[in-house]
Amino acid sequence: MRQSLFPHPKSLLLVLAAALLPPLLGVIPGIPVGYVLYLVCLALIYAIVALGLNLLIGYAGQFSLGHAGFLAIGAYASAVLTQRFGWPFLLALPMAGLLTAAVGFLLGLPALRLSGPYLALVTLGFGLSIPQLVLWRGELTGGAGGLRDLPPASVLGLELRSESAYYYLVFLVIVALTLFARNVVQSHTGRAFIAIRDSEIAAQAMGVNLTRYKTTAFALSAFYAGVAGSLYAHLIRFISPESFTVILSVEFLTMIVVGGLGSVSGSIVGALFLTALPEVFARLPVLKDFKNLFIVVFGAVLILTILFFPRGLAGAWSTRTRPIPPPAEPAARPQEAV
């Protein structure tokens, strides 16, 4: 387990480079800044969901196929609060997170009695039901037509209309949430999560309160998705039930598996990788004519990752770049690979 806040001085450089991304892009001629930044924003928003999902699956060992539902709750909460009730965005953003966390807490309750495929089914049902609820409360949520022309995100009276301004907002949020996730993981709570993941009975025997930590894991994970939902809604400024499909939940799951289960940086790497992949594929001259090739590659990436990098891209990267502590490595491996 890594100890410092940033495991490697390189990650600070990475953060710094990320902060300078918009001006850097602006300098290079021919780069469609708005398009690239929009994609990066979207990828980072997905990365926030992946961070939360990884806390739940990778650390606490509880399964979820319903995170698109959490994303939807956050998005709709933020959209309705700002558009219908005139809340400022800065208030609606945490509120969306907290509301979603409350729902996550409730979903965590059945998780106390369920595990494995049964829990997966419950969360799947949850993810499927959220768009239906949106239709049911049509007068509030705009029904199938969705909510459009959402107010742009604004911070202290400053409207973040441009992609670069919005990028900084998303960037700040993800930096904060990454640090938070890292700290949670290294705290008492994180150790309790891991204990539950590895063996519920053993964890209980050690005095870990299952009820408390399982619901915490769900609430925490939902909080991340809720915040991401709010950012999603105000990035696209249009939401409809069609945007939050089960496919999206599966994509989130793929992100953390490819990035690395039980790895904070892996969540981000996975989200960026999987958002960029289809765009790259659409540009390759010959391959783009094979319409569904991307889906095949998606599957292949998943299988290859599981076969060759069981700890995901992040795990593969860190073992390659840091072959430093030979004695610690074999001991650490079995724990993290679970």
Site for other proteins, rule CB under 8 A: 3-6, 9, 12, 15-16, 19, 22-23, 25-35, 37-39, 42, 132, 135, 143-146, 148-149, 155, 158-165, 168-169, 171-172, 186, 232, 236-238, 240, 242-243, 245, 247, 279, 282, 291-292, 294-295
Query: Residue 210 or 236: which CB sits closer to other proteins?
Result: 236
| Residues 264/176, Cβ–Cβ less than 8 Å | no
Least Å distance, CB 85 to other proteins, is 16
Least Å distance, CB 31 to other proteins, is 7
Query: Residue 62 or 230: which CB sits closer to other proteins?
Result: 230
Q: Tell me the C-alpha to C-alpha distance, in Å, between residue 87 and each of 70, 71, 77, 150.
A: 21, 19, 11, 12
Query: Residue 36 or 114: which CB sits closer to other proteins?
Result: 36
Least Å distance, CB 240 to other proteins, is 4
Least Å distance, CB 215 to other proteins, is 28
How many angstroms separate the CA atoms of 153 and 147, rounded? 15
What is the DSSP-derived secondary structure letter of residue 209? -
| Residues 252/67, Cβ–Cβ less than 8 Å | yes
CB neighbours of residue 142 within 10 Å: 22
Picking from 168, 221, 162, the residue whose alpha carbon sits closest to that of residue 15 is 168
Query: Residue 45 or 111: which CB sits closer to other proteins?
Result: 45
Query: Residue 4 or 115: which CB sits closer to other proteins?
Result: 4
Query: Residue 114 or 297: which CB sits closer to other proteins?
Result: 297
Least Å distance, CB 120 to other proteins, is 21
Q: Could you tell me the two tokens for 30?
A: 């021919």
**Rounded to the nearest 5°, which phi and psi values hold at 40?**
-65, -45
CB neighbours of residue 306 within 10 Å: 13
Tokens 């022309």 locate to 149
How many angstroms separate the CA atoms of 279 and 38, rounded? 12
Query: Residue 113 or 291: which CB sits closer to other proteins?
Result: 291
| Residues 76/243, Cβ–Cβ less than 8 Å | no
Least Å distance, CB 152 to other proteins, is 8
Least Å distance, CB 163 to other proteins, is 6
| Cβ-based burial of 98 (10 A; exposed 0-12, middle 13-18, buried ≥19) | middle
Residue ranges with strand state E in the chain: 147-148, 154-155, 158-159, 238-239
How many angstroms separate the CA atoms of 248 and 244, rounded? 6
Query: Residue 210 or 245: which CB sits closer to other proteins?
Result: 245
Helices 312-321 + 246-259 axis angle, to 10 = 20
Q: Tell me the C-alpha to C-alpha distance, in Å, between residue 321 and each of 72, 193, 196.
A: 38, 28, 31
Query: Residue 167 or 309: which CB sits closer to other proteins?
Result: 167
Least Å distance, CB 168 to other proteins, is 4
Least Å distance, CB 134 to other proteins, is 11
